[in-house]
Amino acid sequence: MAPSAPRTRAAAALRMKQIVLDNQSRTIRRLRDQLAGERRGLATTKRELEDTQVALEASHKVIAGLTEIGLSMSKKIEKMKVKKQLAEANHVECHQKFQARIREAEDSMQAQHLIIEALVEEKDSLLQTIKGLQEANNAPSPFDDEWEDEPEEKPEEEEIEDIPLGEGEIDDE
């Protein structure tokens, strides 16, 4: 029995090595399968990251565009504010000029009225002087049948009121 023992041991050692090799092969296959799965997962993650990068770049372009639009709108709003202020200033200036013209017209009308009153008084004075001279010379009165004193009319003076200058009354439309 002695001669078979070394063979049995060698065979057992070979079987043990075969089992270890089989286990190692299974482990290698399992690790290769895991590695392939991880590679697929990484490829998917890489595609997702690329898609995210593309979306992020598009988002940045949209944000830049919106920012540019916002700045443009801000400039337009500022221009509109300046135009509104100029329009308000022009409105105030026109209002003041209009009021000054109204005052000038009123003053002119008042001066004309005083001149007319003075002329009427001078006419009355001249008529009195003519009548006095005619009576002094015993001459007939040429104006007795033609001339009639017109009743003195007091014209109704239309007062032009100051137009109120209200705030915010400018309509830009």
pLDDT digits (tens, 9 = 90+) for 20-61: 999 999 999 999 999 999 999 999 999 999 999 999 999 999
Question: What tokens appear for 146 in the block?
Answer: 């033609």
Q: What is the pTM for the complete model shown?
A: 0.41
Q: What percent of the chain has pLDDT over 70?
A: 77
Per-residue pLDDT at 1: 45
Per-residue pLDDT tens for 145-167? 555 555 566 656 555 555 555 55
Closest CA to 141 of 149, 133, 150: 133
Give the model confidence (pLDDT) of 100-148 as tens digits: 999 999 999 999 999 999 999 999 999 999 888 888 888 766 555 555 5
Boundaries of every domain in the chain:
13-102
Asked if residues 84 and 170 have their Cβ atoms less than 8 Å apart, the reply is: yes
Length of the chain: 173
Q: Provide the 10 A C-beta neighbour count for residue 172.
A: 7
Q: Please return the burial class of 134, using the count of CB atoms within 10 Å of its CB with bins 0-12, 13-18 and 19+.
A: middle
Instruction: Say yes or no to pLDDT of 87 above 50.
Output: yes
Determine the pLDDT at residue 173: 47
